[in-house]
Amino acid sequence: MSIVLNILHKSFPRPIQTRNNSCIIAKIRVTILYESLCSDSEEFIDKQLVQCYDSIKDNVDIEFVPYGKASHKKTSTGWTFECQNGRRECELNIQHACGIKYASSQSQQVKFVNCMMKEATETNGNTAIKTCTSKNSISFDDVSRCYGGAEGQNLHAEHGDRTNKFTPSFIPTIIFNNTFDQHYQDRALKNLYSVINELCVREKIRVTILYESLCPDSEDFINKQLVQCYDSIKDKINIEFVPYGKATHKRTTTSWIFQCQHGRRECELNIQHACGIKYASSQSQQIEFVNCMMREATYNNGNIPIKTCTNKTGISFDEVSRCYSGAEGQNLHAGHGDRTKTFSTYFIPTIIFNDIFGQRSQDRALNNFYSVINELL
């Protein structure tokens, strides 16, 4: 092996503070392109990855790639390698690769790599690999056979091919979900936990909004709280609109009788809301429709708002019209009444998070809805 030397120097942040916060839907794949004698790699693994690992271990699949700014070439008998920090780094990269392969878990890999980064030097031979396999209950015999033969060289070459897919300009390079992003790279070197926390795909928050179509407080909440922050939270919430409020309903032999807090007109509009919500094709379309209806509808302007708002939001007026003119709309309104009565509401709008009413969350949501969503994530 020939030698290429070019050691990078860089100051590194202090260890980060951590807290528990689990990804529920999908783990994040974290690929770490590093070198075994690179001081920046050591700093990242020890001060970032290890410091927050207990908090993120259930949220990440880590892929260690010990190669960095090396090169490799196939020969008739095997491989030749050139490593940024010299021949010894190539040897250690291969030892890392073998230890990673024969570790039985991700946690064992992390501990092994961290040990090797701290213990190995340019001159201490096999002392580090013996220490770190023993300390982490990895078979030294398996690892020794690996790094002493073709298996280790093949692993190093494979890590080279993997690294070259990303053409890293700096080592370590941190890849999230197989896509390099300079913004996340820069942040990960200073606060890995914050990047994992941001990328974590969690269970969405269910937000149930109990409201009335002619209620000024409902209009105020929808327009000044929900709509104002929706673009920032739309991927984090599932919204359930329930246009009913302090109404009542009673079944007759042929249909339903409704009484609404703001009169007959509100019952008509509640039903129009229900039908528009049903025939909207997305949550964003529902929000645009409801907000439009809250702003446009009055006690005496008939069907002008429903025509305006279905047209404006791309919802089929014909489908909505058939719905609110017949039994379908009445049944939706009655269903919303049943849903509303599962909660003991004394104020409209009432905002329910994950099907549990909390007075503190309700009070805060009316004044700063975004802060409640942010807190619940």
Where residue 122 falls among pLDDT bands split at 50, 70, 90? confident
* 327-340 and 264-279 helices, crossing angle to 10°: 100
Average pLDDT over residues 118-145: 93
Q: Shortest CA distance to 166 belongs to which of 177, 155, 154, 152?
A: 177
CA–CA–CA angle 355, 19, 15 (5° rounding)? 160
pLDDT digits (tens, 9 = 90+) for 23-48: 655 689 999 999 999 999 999 999 99
pLDDT digits (tens, 9 = 90+) for 202-222: 568 899 999 999 999 999 999
Q: Shortest CA distance to 247 belongs to which of 320, 326, 345?
A: 345
Contact 176, 194 (CB under 8 A): no
Phi, psi of 170 (to 5 degrees): -140, 145
Tally of CB atoms within 10 A around 263: 11
Instruction: Judge whether 28-199 and 205-376 match in fold.
Output: yes
Q: Shortest CA distance to 46 belongs to which of 25, 15, 92, 79?
A: 15
Give the helix ranges, DSSP H, for 103-221: 106-119, 127-135, 140-147, 150-164, 182-199, 216-221
Confidence at residue 83, expressed as pLDDT on a 0 to 100 scale: 97
List the structure tokens of 88.
């010894």
CA distances from 100 to 61, 113, 141, 147, 194 (A): 13, 8, 14, 11, 26
Please return the burial class of 330, using the count of CB atoms within 10 Å of its CB with bins 0-12, 13-18 and 19+: buried
Q: How far apart are CA 1 and CA 120, in angstroms?
A: 19
Confidence at residue 374, expressed as pLDDT on a 0 to 100 scale: 83
Average pLDDT, the chain: 91
Taking every pair of C-alpha atoms in the chain, what is the biggest distance, in angstroms?
Answer: 92
Instruction: Write down the architecture of domain 28-199 according to CATH.
Output: 3-Layer(aba) Sandwich (3.40)
The CATH number of domain 205-376 is 3.40.30.10? yes
Q: How far apart are CA 328 and CA 325, in angstroms?
A: 8
List the structure tokens of 269.
């509009």
Q: How far apart are CA 133 and CA 63, in angstroms?
A: 19
Average pLDDT over residues 7-33: 55
Please return the burial class of 296, using the count of CB atoms within 10 Å of its CB with bins 0-12, 13-18 and 19+: middle
Tally of CB atoms within 10 A around 223: 14
Contact 277, 290 (CB under 8 A): yes
Contact 60, 144 (CB under 8 A): no
Average pLDDT over residues 113-117: 97
Tally of CB atoms within 10 A around 9: 6
Q: How far apart are CA 234 and CA 200, in angstroms?
A: 15
Report domain extents, the chain: 28-199, 205-376
Contact 119, 131 (CB under 8 A): yes
Q: How far apart are CA 228 and CA 74, in angstroms?
A: 59
Report how far apart the first and last C-alpha atoms of the chain are (Å, whole number): 51
Q: How far apart are CA 57 and CA 238, in angstroms?
A: 27
Is the pLDDT at 233 greater than 60? The verdict is: yes
Give the rounded percent of residues in the chain with a pLDDT score beyond 90: 80
DSSP output for 277-305: HHH-SSHHHHHHHHHHHHHH--SS-TTHH
pLDDT digits (tens, 9 = 90+) for 87-113: 999 999 999 999 999 999 999 999 999
Q: How far apart are CA 221 and CA 217, in angstroms?
A: 6
SS3 120: coil
Q: What pTM value is reported for the model?
A: 0.55
Confidence at residue 11, expressed as pLDDT on a 0 to 100 scale: 34
